[in-house]
């Protein structure tokens, strides 16, 4: 970046203090938040880096920057702010925003910061990620200096192609010990030949001398004998969803490659809760900026116009795209209203008179308490499942749509509540990504990798699957396969390093016919 990021000018510092006080008075609780003011080019470049200006270099960040910069230049989009889940939280404000925008954005940021700190799905994220990302950047730059930029970038491309094949629930379930998660030698360029338990601590440049290969092979714990007596069996014992961890532990990678893969994996886990809570997180922040602004943040008539103009843009509904800001905000408001009026529980649910339900009011006033509880424990999937009701669906005229092959248009498919909800839940399950796990790391006893796609409706996009298999081959170095469903038939897509193959099966264990792609 060419110019310096600036601290807040005095007039905005005053706004920050004021908004922080309002947010705290409403019960929001956040990490200390550092605001910095940037110009549009800086904000676009920070956004392109996913919010971390010190991140590792990679061509895709340049591509993302170009997209954001062009979108801004053509008036298609504008980023008002960026906020980073870290302790302290960092927030970047756009210097061309009006003072009303700044007030709104600062209030919005405090909503996000509260969510980061208190939502359960963020509880296992690294709160020092700014430092960690800088560390990742240094390590990758060092590998680029040593092994060449193109070599490292190509390897990063391969890692990124599978960066959503992680087990998003694993931070909350101890499936393996911390030690066994990283049995490779991260941050070194020495062959991983000495078992971790036999190693002496050493800097990377001294490692070969302190832990020589011969010592490792002579050591009593060295298990070369196991290879001769027991031919390799199928593994893992159970299908594993964390494909990246599986590759870290079993793929024939050089230590620097293992380190790069572990970096990409760590970052994928860091970003995963943001994907899991997009609707809630934006809804929560919008709920609070709306509450604070409409009660305390508007000073004159001009402010009303600015605020209403920008908020209407943010909350605009599109018939073809879900707006997470609007859905999240409306759901939080609906929950607060229902719990204020006592519209919950058995008595309410069992009431079958529409008018009685509509005017139901026990005056219990538990709305505020309830929305804080919801923000603490839910993610988007459970949020929608629990709180998207038939009544809400009707009031907001929700519908599902799909592409009609015959007419060539996107068309309204259904206004049925169950279908709309099911479709929404599908799109949120596993953050809308396919569920894929490693079924066999020694397929056909030939060291080939066999993945299985847990089919639940949407098919894999074959062009994407083929590219991913090629990248996966680069990591695994042996043929790779994925079992999935295409056109209602179980198929196996394979890549052997030269060509792709699609094997159709009637049943998983049935006869197979092979088609050359």
Partner 1 sequence: MLRPSWNDQTGKSLERTYEVRVGHARVRVQSASPAEAITQARARFCIDMPRMWDVIHSLEMNRFDVRVIESP
Q: Which residues bind partner 1 (CB under 8 A)?
A: 291, 294-295, 333, 336-337, 340-341, 359, 361, 363, 365, 367-368
Task: Answer for the pair 290, 311: CB distance below 8 angstroms, yes or no.
Answer: yes
Q: Say which residues have a Cβ less than 8 Å from residue 395's Cβ, sequence separation at least 6.
A: none
Q: Find the helix or strand (DSSP H, E) in which 343 lies.
A: none
Rounded CA-CA distance 168/379 in Å is 12
> Residue 394 or 416: which CB sits closer to partner 1?
394
> Residue 175 or 333: which CB sits closer to partner 1?
333
Q: Which pair of tokens denotes residue 413?
A: 């498919």
CB of 333 to partner 1, least distance (A): 7
Q: Say which residues have a Cβ less than 8 Å from residue 342's Cβ, sequence separation at least 6.
A: 348, 360, 361, 362, 363, 364, 366
CA distances from 385 to 159, 184, 382 (A): 33, 40, 5
Q: Which conformational region is residue 432 in: left (phi greater than 0), alpha (psi within -120 to 50 degrees), or beta?
A: left
> Residue 331 or 381: which CB sits closer to partner 1?
331
Cα four-point dihedral sign 301, 302, 307, 313: positive
Q: Which conformational region is residue 148 in: left (phi greater than 0), alpha (psi within -120 to 50 degrees), or beta?
A: left
CB of 15 to partner 1, least distance (A): 22
CB of 282 to partner 1, least distance (A): 18
CB of 290 to partner 1, least distance (A): 8
> Residue 360 or 426: which CB sits closer to partner 1?
360
> Residue 295 or 394: which CB sits closer to partner 1?
295
CB of 332 to partner 1, least distance (A): 11
CB of 293 to partner 1, least distance (A): 12
> Residue 227 or 359: which CB sits closer to partner 1?
359
Give residue for tokens 């049995």: 183
Q: Which pair of tokens denotes residue 353?
A: 């008179």
> Residue 365 or 458: which CB sits closer to partner 1?
365
CB of 337 to partner 1, least distance (A): 4
Phi–psi pair at 480, nearest 5 degrees: -125, 145
Length of the chain in terms of residues written: 517
């Amino acid at each position: 970046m060419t110019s310096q990021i600036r601290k807040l000018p005095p007039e905005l510092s005053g706004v920050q203090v004021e908004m922080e006080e309002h947010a705290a008075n409403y019960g929001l609780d956040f990490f200390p938040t550092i605001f910095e003011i940037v110009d549009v080019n800086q904000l676009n470049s920070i956004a392109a880096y996913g919010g971390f200006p010190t991140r590792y270099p990679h061509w895709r960040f340049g591509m993302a920057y170009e997209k954001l910069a062009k979108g801004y230049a053509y008036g298609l989009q504008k980023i008002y702010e960026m906020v980073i889940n870290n302790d302290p939280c960092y927030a970047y404000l756009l210097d061309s925003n009006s003072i009303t925008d700044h007030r709104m954005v600062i209030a919005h940021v405090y909503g996000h910061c509260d969510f980061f700190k208190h939502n359960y799905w963020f509880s296992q994220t690294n709160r020092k990620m700014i430092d960690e990302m800088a560390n990742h950047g240094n390590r990758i730059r060092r590998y680029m200096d040593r092994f060449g930029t193109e070599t490292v970038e190509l390897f990063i491309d391969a890692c990124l192609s599978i960066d959503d094949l992680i087990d998003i629930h694993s931070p909350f379930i101890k499936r393996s010990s911390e030690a066994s998660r990283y049995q490779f030698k991260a941050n070194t360029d020495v062959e991983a030949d000495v078992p971790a338990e036999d190693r002496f601590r050493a800097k990377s440049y001294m490692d070969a001398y302190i832990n020589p290969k011969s010592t490792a092979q002579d050591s009593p714990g060295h298990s070369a004998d196991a290879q001769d007596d027991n031919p390799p069996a199928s593994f893992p014992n159970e299908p594993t969803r964390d494909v990246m961890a599986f590759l870290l532990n079993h793929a024939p990678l050089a230590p620097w490659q293992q380190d790069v893969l572990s970096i990409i994996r760590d970052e994928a886990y860091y970003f995963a809760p943001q994907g899991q809570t997009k609707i809630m997180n934006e809804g929560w922040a919008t709920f609070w900026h709306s509450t604070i602004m409409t009660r305390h943040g508007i000073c004159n008539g001009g402010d009303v116009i600015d605020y209403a103009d920008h908020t209407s843009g943010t909350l605009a509904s599109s018939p073809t795209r879900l707006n997470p800001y609007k859905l999240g905000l409306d759901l939080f408001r609906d929950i607060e209203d229902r719990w204020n009026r006592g519209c919950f529980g058995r008595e309410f649910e069992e009431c079958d008179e529409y008018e009685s339900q509509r005017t139901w009011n026990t005056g219990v006033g538990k709305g505020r308490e309830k929305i804080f509880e919801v923000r603490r424990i839910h993610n988007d999937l459970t949020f929608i499942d629990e709180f998207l009701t038939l009544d809400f669906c009707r009031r907001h005229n929700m519908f599902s749509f799909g592409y009609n092959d015959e007419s060539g248009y996107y068309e309204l498919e259904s206004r049925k509540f169950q279908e709309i909800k099911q479709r929404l839940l599908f799109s949120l399950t596993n953050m809308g990504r396919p569920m894929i796990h490693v079924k066999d790391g020694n397929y056909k006893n030939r060291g080939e990798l066999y993945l299985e796609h847990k089919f639940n409706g949407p098919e894999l996009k074959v062009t994407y699957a083929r590219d991913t298999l090629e990248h996966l081959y680069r990591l695994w170095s042996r043929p790779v396969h994925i079992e999935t469903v295409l056109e209602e038939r179980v198929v196996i897509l394979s890549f052997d390093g030269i060509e792709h193959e699609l094997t159709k099966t009637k049943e998983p264990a049935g006869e197979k016919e092979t088609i050359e792609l």
